[in-house]
């Protein structure tokens, strides 16, 4: 039998783990649902282009036991990109959208080529950096 204190001990470090990944105002909650098991909720304020002030990201992890749900949530947090990488990916997404919009609107190649080259260099740097980390 698991005690409430053991559950608190398992989830209490998670907000700090999320903060370490650059997540703003993280909250971690556990939900027990009859005949459904246990759910760990990870929530934080969306920083990158929120649709409205206070928009949150909500992710949930199911398990038949608290240990299973905790393990899934912890594994997810560990796999999240660093705060710096998340910002870079957001920038790359915006730059890619800008390039696509320019092409769609018939913007002259003279304007798009520097953007396309920048995107290519950033992408190569990200791939090189990731493969170096994997080694």
Question: What is each CA distance from 86 to 11, 56, 79, 93, 105, in whole angstroms?
Answer: 24, 16, 12, 10, 29
Q: Residue 16: count other Cβ atoms within 10 Å of its Cβ.
A: 10
What is the architecture, at CATH level 2, of domain 4-79?
A: 2-Layer Sandwich (3.30)
Sheet strand arrangement including 56-63 = 24-33, 37-45, 56-63
Please write the tens of the pLDDT for every residue from 1-55: 678 899 899 999 999 999 999 999 999 999 988 887 889 999 999 887 778 888 9
In angstroms, rounded to a whole number, what is the distance separating the alpha carbons of residues 78 and 17? Answer: 8
On the question of pLDDT at 76 being above 90, the answer is yes
Residue ranges per structural domain of the chain: 4-79, 83-134
Measure the CA–CA gap between 14 and 8, rounded to whole angstroms: 10
Q: What pLDDT score does 129 carry?
A: 54
Neighbours of 92 (CB within 10 A): 15
């Amino acid at each position: 039998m698991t005690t409430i204190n053991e559950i608190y001990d398992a989830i209490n470090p998670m907000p700090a783990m999320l903060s370490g990944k650059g997540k703003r105002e993280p909250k971690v909650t556990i939900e027990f649902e009859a005949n459904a098991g246990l759910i760990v909720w990870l929530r934080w304020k969306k920083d990158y282009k929120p649709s409205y002030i206070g928009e949150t990201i909500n992710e949930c992890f199911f398990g038949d036991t608290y240990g299973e749900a905790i393990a899934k949530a912890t594994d997810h947090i560990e796999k999240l990109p660093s705060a710096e990488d998340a910002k870079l990916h957001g920038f790359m997404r915006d730059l890619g959208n800008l390039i696509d919009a320019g092409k769609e609107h018939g913007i002259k190649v003279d304007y798009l080529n520097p953007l396309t080259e920048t995107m290519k260099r950033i992408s190569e740097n990200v791939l090189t950096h990731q493969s170096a980390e994997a080694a």
